[in-house]
Amino acid sequence: MTSLMIQKDIVNACKIETIKVILEELNGDHFTLLVDESFDVSRKEQMAIVLQFIDRMRFVMERLINIIHVQDTSALSLKVVIVNLLAQHSLSLSSVRGQYYDKVNNMQGEVHGLKMLIRQKIRPAHSIHYFAHQLQLTLAGISKKCFEVGKHVVLVSNIFNVLRSSFKRMDDLRDSQKAIIQEALEMGELTIARGLNQQLDLSRACDTRWRSHCKSFNNLILMFGSILDVLELLALDARSIDERVKATGHLESYRTFEIVFMLHLMRDVLKITNVLNKCLQKNEQDVANAMLLVEVAKRRLQVSRDDE
């Protein structure tokens, strides 16, 4: 129990037995490749490889077969890693019938991307975006065409960076939240119950996960007064001129009607698309139902536009 080497041996043995079961489920049939890259806690690039296939009971299964640390993230190197991994388990690229990747160039590039390198070898290996990923890419693409939205997203990101860059500022933010909640409770504006009045946090928004923007904007609205308090303190007590100038600029922008209006507008719009996003991520989703859900979301957005 205290030997790191023995623990690693046990984990590897469990992995081997798990993969055996997955290959029995696959039964030598066709499958789809799902590949995603991310950083681990030590900031090393790692690649997760998942197989999607239909089992003997005709259910769609998704099974993670390995997570590999990669140093070279070029498309050609990733292809070699995938081919070698499949070969270790007596699998071949010729059985691949679909590819799911994110939108980065080394994956989706039309000339030298991993998608095209595999298609050159295996023509039936079509590349498809997940329903939810298509929605996120659409939202990100449209938002970049609207200057006001883009400016708003940048401001939110900058305020996040300013506040999260110091433990003291985060402590000040929490203290301000507590004071505002206590005052609201004393005035009877809030009720006490289990699960209510939980401490909120600033969550970083990510372009490939637009549900994170919904959470980020919602928390900014709920924490509006606390954020103003911290920015005011920083504008007065910052150690350097640069920090004071940044805090003052963010404070002036954050107080404007346009920013407050955009916060509420984006939250309301993203609430509608976030519901759609959650529905599209369900394992049992089908194309016909997905199209219906998109139509419902479009009608809800149109109603919001008509009501101004």
pLDDT in tens, 115-156: 788 888 888 888 776 677 777 777 777 777 888 888 887 888
Task: Indicate which CATH number applies to the domain containing 101.
Answer: 3.30.420
- 122 and 257 share one domain: no
Residue type at 156 in one-letter notation: V
**What's the CA gap between 235 and 65, in Å, rounded?**
52
Domain end, chosen from 128, 160, 188, is at 128
Question: What pLDDT score does 5 carry?
Answer: 93
Which of 286, 143, 259 is CA-nearest to residue 208?
143
Query: Would you say residue 167 lies in a domain?
Result: yes
- 86 and 198 share one domain: no
- 89 and 161 share one domain: no
- Tell me: pLDDT of 246 over 70: yes
pLDDT in tens, 37-54: 776 666 677 888 889 898
- 276 and 148 share one domain: yes
- Tell me: pLDDT of 193 over 60: no
- 47 and 142 share one domain: no
Query: Would you say residue 267 lies in a domain?
Result: yes
**Domain membership of residue 90 as a residue range:** 7-128
- 178 and 60 share one domain: no
Query: Would you say residue 123 lies in a domain?
Result: yes
- Tell me: pLDDT of 6 over 90: yes
Query: Would you say residue 19 lies in a domain?
Result: yes
Tell me how far the alpha carbon of residue 265 is from its chain's centroid.
Answer: 21
**What's the CA gap between 79 and 70, in Å, rounded?**
12
- 41 and 154 share one domain: no
- Tell me: pLDDT of 7 over 90: yes
Domain end, chosen from 99, 128, 157, is at 128
pLDDT in tens, 26-37: 888 899 888 877
Question: What pLDDT score does 189 carry?
Answer: 67
- 123 and 150 share one domain: no
- 62 and 15 share one domain: yes
- The total domain count for the chain is 2
Considering the entire predicted model, what is its pTM?
0.58
- 233 and 258 share one domain: yes
- 159 and 276 share one domain: yes
Query: Would you say residue 2 lies in a domain?
Result: no
pLDDT in tens, 98-120: 887 765 556 666 666 787 888 88
Domain end, chosen from 128, 145, 176, is at 128
3 state SS for the chain: CCCHHHHHHHHHHHHHHHHHHHHHHHCCCCEEEEEEEEECCCCCEEEEEEEEEECCCCCEEEEEEEEEECCCCCHHHHHHHHHHHHHHCCCCHHHEEEEECCCCHHHHCCCCCHHHHHHHHCCCCEECCCHHHHHHHHHHHHHCCCHHHHHHHHHHHHHHHHHHCCHHHHHHHHHHHHHHHHHHHHCCCCCCCCCCCCCCCCCCCECCECHHHHHHHHHHHHCHHHHHHHHHHHHHHCCCHHHHHHHHHHHHHHCCHHHHHHHHHHHHHHHHHHHHHHHHCCCCCCHHHHHHHHHHHHHHHHHHHHCC
Question: What pLDDT score does 57 carry?
Answer: 84
Question: What pLDDT score does 14 carry?
Answer: 92
Burial zone of 199 (CB within 10 Å; 0-12 exposed, 13-18 middle, 19+ buried): exposed
Question: What pLDDT score does 28 carry?
Answer: 85
Query: Would you say residue 119 lies in a domain?
Result: yes
Question: What pLDDT score does 13 carry?
Answer: 93
Q: What are the Cα distances from residue 202, in Å, to 67, 183, 279?
A: 30, 22, 25
- 99 and 166 share one domain: no
Query: Would you say residue 1 lies in a domain?
Result: no
